[in-house]
């Protein structure tokens, strides 16, 4: 079994001082047998790269698909590599639903990330409305279709939109069934990728989630902004997955 992955997507949060304090705490406690990733906003990446222990990997929350040029406000995958990023989130539901990012655009972002040597954390998930209409499988299929012909290291994160930021994670049985479905689709595409779960993961529910071995790790939002709760989640994955 490979190492579980526990990633913190900081979203649009923290300032330089609060981020430095958080990283200083993480530096003291991070363990070898979990792949720990922090994903700060762009403004904090350089600082994070310079002070985070090298066992903590760095990821960005987004990128554009062009290498450089007149694209005001955008950041290229090459720039992220240059600053020390190994990972980049592509297709987070907030990018899809607040900023209108389409599967077509995300396909280009995945390809550009691959070219730059970044590992995308590709987020997929259905909205509450899609879930109610019974469209979950077709939505996930469509979102996964864009990874056709993209042989590249990749992490998939299943983040049901209705579980993000609500404090109520999906039930483990639902996560298990959905990840089975995702794995089947990945197999059909001959893509090998760890599959994470994201959506209200916190110390209270991390044990139950980590105990389901089909789940390769967690993509954490709110609980990743606090050193104690993030470290508890890391510790739970470490303990539960100990061989």
Helix residue ranges, H only, 98-202: 103-116, 128-132, 136-145, 172-188
Find the shortest distance in angstroms from Cβ 161 to ligand 13P.
9
Distance CA 239, CA 133 (A): 38
The smaller minimum CB distance to ligand 13P, of residues 82 and 204, is found at: 204
Classify residue 35 as left (phi > 0), alpha (psi -120 to 50) or beta.
beta
Shortest distance (Å) from residue 5 CB to ligand 13P: 13
Q: Which is nearer to ligand 13P, 78 or 165 (CB)?
A: 165
Q: Which residue's CB is nearer to ligand 13P, number 178 or number 223?
A: 223
Question: Residue 69 — φ and ψ, nearest 5°?
Answer: 125, -165
Supply the minimum distance, in Å, between the C-beta of residue 133 and ligand 13P.
22
Residue 195 CA to chain centroid, in angstroms?
10
Q: How far is the CB of 194 from ligand 13P (least distance, A)?
A: 15
CB 7 within 8 A of CB 217: yes
CB 210 within 8 Å of CB 5? no
Q: Is 92 a catalytic residue?
A: yes
Interface positions with ligand 13P (CB under 6 A): 9, 92, 159, 164-165, 198-201, 219-223
- Single out the catalytic residue among 35, 92, 101, 130: 92
% helix, strand, coil for the chain, step of 5: 45, 15, 40
Residue 66 vs 203, nearer CB to ligand 13P: 203
Q: How many CA atoms lie within 13 A of 228 on its CB side?
A: 1
Is 159 catalytic? The answer is yes
From 101, 126, 130, 159, active-site residue: 159
Which of the residues are catalytic? 92, 159
């Amino acid at each position: 079994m490979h190492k579980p992955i526990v990633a913190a997507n900081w979203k649009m949060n923290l300032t330089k001082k609060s981020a430095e304090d958080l990283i200083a705490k993480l530096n003291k406690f991070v363990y070898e047998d979990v792949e720990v990733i922090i994903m700060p906003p762009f403004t904090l990446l350089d600082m994070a790269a310079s002070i985070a222990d090298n066992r903590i990997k760095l990821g960005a929350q987004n990128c554009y698909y062009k290498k450089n040029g007149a694209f005001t406000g955008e950041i290229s995958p090459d720039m992220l590599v240059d600053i020390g990023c190994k990972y980049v989130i592509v297709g987070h539901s907030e990018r899809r639903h607040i900023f209108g990012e389409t599967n077509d655009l995300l396909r280009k972002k995945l390809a550009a990330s691959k070219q730059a040597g970044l590992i995308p954390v590709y987020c997929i998930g259905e909205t509450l409305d899609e879930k109610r209409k019974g469209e979950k499988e077709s939505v996930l299929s469509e979102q996964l279709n864009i990874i056709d012909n993209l042989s590249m290291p990749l992490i998939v994160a299943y983040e049901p939109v209705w579980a993000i930021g609500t404090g109520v994670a999906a039930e483990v049985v639902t996560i298990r069934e959905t990840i089975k479905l995702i794995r089947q689709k990945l197999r059909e595409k001959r893509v090998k990728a760890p599959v994470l779960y994201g959506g209200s993961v916190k110390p209270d529910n991390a044990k139950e989630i980590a105990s389901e071995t089909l789940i390769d790790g967690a993509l954490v939002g709110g609980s990743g902004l606090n050193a104690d709760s993030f470290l508890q989640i890391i510790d739970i994955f470490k303990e539960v997955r100990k061989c």
